[in-house]
A and B are shown apart, each in its own frame.
Chain A
Amino acid sequence: MKKLGTLAAATLLLAGAAQADPLKVGMITTLSGGGAGLGIDVRDGFMLAVKQSGNSDIEVIVEDDQRKPDIAVQLADKMIQSDKVDVLTGIIWSNLAMAVVPAVTQQGKFYLSPNAGPSALAGKGCHENYFNVAWQNDNLHEAAGAYAKGAGFANSFILAPNYPAGKDALTGYKRFYGGDLAGEVYTKLGQSDYAAEIAQIRASGADSVFFFLPGGMGIAFMKQYAQSGVDIPLVGPAFSFDQGILQAVGEAAMGVKNTSQWNKDIDNPTNAAFVESFQAEYGRLPSLYASQGFDTANLLLSAMGKASVSDAGAFRAALKEADFASTRGDFEFGSNHHPIQDIYVREVIKEGDVFTNKIVGPALENHSDAYAGECSM
C-alpha cells in the first residue's frame, strides 16, 4: 500500500515534468508503528504544499523509517547514493535525526528538519546545510515555564520520560520557570501506567503539574489523571495536545493550557488557506506537525525559485532568507539556522464534536534558543 502510494505520488509529480533535472527530495519519516500519526501529518502537510505550488520541477521520494535509527541511516544512504537526492527532510524523532543529519550534511546535501530539533545540532554541532523549520527541542518547554511563571505558579511537579529529549524538556521548563519544585520525576520511556506518579503528585502539595509525555504516553497520563480525582492544573507542550491525540483523550484534556508555535486560529491568510485546504484534501484538521511539513515544503519551494540547488552557496543563502509565507506568520532563521518565532499558550476547547485548541496569548515573543551562541557559523 505504502509503496503504491509513494509510487502514485511520484508518478503524479512526474507527470508533465518534462524539464531537465528536477530537484529531488528524500523524505524519511515514520509511517508505521506507534508514532506513525506524526510522520503521516508531516508528509501530508509537505505534499499539500508541493501540490498547491503546481511546481513540476520537484520530485519527492517518501520512505518509512519505522522509528528505527538504523533503518533511517540505510534509507539516507540509499537516497543519496542511488536516488541522488539533493535535499533530505522528514525525520520526526531526535535520536533518528542525530543518526542521520550529520552524515547527510557532511556529504554536502541539505537537510530541512520538519520536527526534531536536538540541542546538539543547534549548538556546537550546527551546520551550514542544516535548517530547522520547526523549533529547537527546548523551545516549547521554555514557553511552558514562562507561562507557569506568569500565571503565578510557584511549586510545580514536573515529569518527563527518562531519555535525552525528556531531560531537555525539564531543563527547558526550569530555565524559564524559576519557582520551587514539588517533585521531579523521570518515567520509563513508553510507560503507559502513571498511577504511581499520580499518587505522588496528589501527596506532593504542588500548585501545578508540568509534563512532557509525547504520543500514547500523554494520552494514558491524561486519562488516568482525570480519573484520579486530583485537580491540580496541568501545563505541557503541544506534543500531548495535537490534533491526532486530542480525540483519543477526550474530555480529560478540556481546558488544559499548552504551548505551541502554531495553532489553526493564528490569524494570517496563509494559515487560513492551509487549514481549509488541508481539511478539504484529507478530511481531518491539521496538527502542528502538518503545519511544520507544510512550512518546510514552502521554504524549499521559495529557495528553488531563487537559486538552483546545483549552486549550493546561492541555494543556502536563499534558504536562509526564509522568504516564504509561513502558517505561523513571522518566521526567520537565527544564526544557527533555527527559527526565531513567537510561541503561544493554547487552551483545549471543544468545537462541535471535535476537540481542538485555541490561542490564549503569547508566551514568548521572537524567541530564539539557548544554544545559538555555541554555534560558530
Chain B
Amino acid sequence: MSLILLIEQVLNGLQFGVMLFLMAAGLTLVFGVMGLINLAHGSLYMVGAFACAAVATATGSFWLGLAASLAAAAAAGALVEIVVIRRLYDRDHLDQVLATFALILVFSEATRWAFGSFPLYLNVPPSLSGAVTLPGGIEYPAYRLAIIVVGFAVAAGLFALIAKTRLGIQIRAGEADREMIGALGVDIARLYTIVFALGAGLAGLAGALVGTIQSVQVGMGEPVLILAFVVIVIGGIGSIKGALIGALLVGLTDTLGRFLLPIVFATFMDASSATSVGSALASMAIYVLMAGVLVARPSGLYGVRA
C-alpha cells in the first residue's frame, strides 16, 4: 500500500463527508429549530437531482441545471412545509414520521409519473471532467475536488449565516425557545418556512452534485437519508458544527474502512475470506462508530439536549 493511494482515499473520504454534510445540515437545522423528524429529506435530494438533469438536458448547461436544482428543491421544500409539515409541529414524532414517510411515497410516484422509471442522464460538465494531477503525483478527478471545495464553501457560508446574520440569530433563538421568540414578535411561521426551504435547497444541491457522478433515479434519496441520520446522531442533533464534524468522520470511516479492513484481515487470513469478512465489517463500520460515540457522549459530539 503506497502513501499516494492512502492520500487518495483520504480525499475520497473527505469528498463523501462534505456531501453528507450538505444533506445533514438541512436535517439537523429542521430538527433543531422545529423539532421535526423529516424522512422526506431524501426526496428533496432526489428532486434536486432530477431538476438538474432535466434542465441540463434541455438547455445543455450543467450550471443552469445546478441553479435549477437549488431553486426546485427549495421551492418544493417551502411548498411541503406550508401544505403539510406546518400541521405536524405540535404532533408527536410518530405522527411526523408517518406523514413524512407518506411524502416519500408521494414524491417517488410523482417523479416516476413525470420522468418515467428509467434513470436519467446527467454528466460532469466538460470544464470539470477528467483527472488532475495534484502535487506529489496524485491523480484525482477534477469534479470530486470541486465537490470538496463547494462543500467547505457552503459550510463556511452556513456558519457565517448562523453566527452573523439576523436570520441566524432567529434560528439560534428558535432552537433555544420557540414560544419566546414568537412572543418577541418574530414571524415564526415565516421563519420555519425559510429554514425548511434552506435545508431543502442544500439537499437539492447535494442531489444534483452527487447525481452527476452517480445515477439519477427514483429512490436515490433514501440510502443517503439513512447516512445523514447517522451523521446528525453522531454530531449532536441541532448542531451545524456537529453535522460537519460528524459528516467528515462518517465519510472517512466508511471510505478508509472499505479500503483498509480487507487489507488488515489479509495479514492473518487467506485472501478471499479476508475480502468477504473485511467488506462485511466495513459496511458496519459507521454504525460501530455511532455506537461508540453514543456510549461516550449520549447526546452526540456537539449535542446540547439529551
Chain A residues with CB under 8 Å of chain B are: 1, 31-34, 36-37, 40, 162, 184-188, 190, 192-193, 195-197, 199-200, 202-203, 215-217, 219-220, 223-224, 227-229, 244-245, 247-252
Q: Are A37's CB and B9's CB within 8 A?
A: no
Given A184-B271, A195-B16, A227-B124; A248-B8 close (CB under 8 Å) = no
Q: Which of B1, B2, B129, B216 contacts A227 (CB 8 A)?
A: B129
In the bound complex, what is the Cα–Cα distance between A304 and B5 (angstroms)?
A: 60
Cα–Cα, bound, A8→B16 (Å)? 46
Across-interface contacts of A224 in B (CB, < 8 A): 141, 213-214
Q: Which A residues lie within 8 Å of B121 (CB)?
A: 247-250
Question: Are A34 and B217 in contact, with the CB atoms below 8 A?
Answer: yes
Instruction: Specify the main secondary structure of chain A where it touches its partner.
Output: helix
Q: Which of B30-38, B91-99, B153-161, B218-226 contacts A (4 or more CB under 8 A)?
A: B218-226
Pick the contact of B117: A40, A202, A203, A228 (CB < 8 A).
Answer: A40
Q: Is the CB of B112 within 8 A of A32?
A: yes
The B interface is mostly helix, strand or loop, or mixed, namely: helix
Closest residue of chain B to A188 (Cβ to Cβ) is B283
Which residue of the partner chain, among A34, A223, A228, contacts B219 with CB atoms under 8 Å? A34
Residue from B112, B120, B279 within 8 A of A36 (CB atoms)? B112
Asked whether A37 lies within 8 Å of B118 as measured between CB atoms, the reply is yes
Measured between C-beta atoms, what is the minimum distance from B82 to chain A in Å? Answer: 27
Q: Give chain B's interface residues, CB within 8 Å of chain A.
A: 1-2, 4-5, 8-9, 12, 15-16, 108-109, 112-113, 117-124, 129-131, 139, 141-144, 210, 212-220, 223, 255-256, 258-259, 262, 271-272, 275-276, 279-280, 282-283
Nearest-CB distance from A191 to chain B (Å)?
A: 8
CA A190 to CA B225, docked complex, whole Å: 13
With contact pairs A188-B279, A229-B131 given, residues A195 and B214 touching in the complex (Cβ less than 8 Å): no
Known: A195-B12, A223-B123. A186 touches B117 (CB 8 A): no
A216-B217 contact in complex given A192-B223, A195-B144, C-beta closer than 8 Å: yes
Cα–Cα distance between A145 and B15 once the two chains are bound (Å):
34
Are B2 and A203 in touch, CB under 8 angstroms?
yes
Are B218 and A193 interface neighbours, CB within 8 A? no
Closest B residue by C-beta to A203: B5
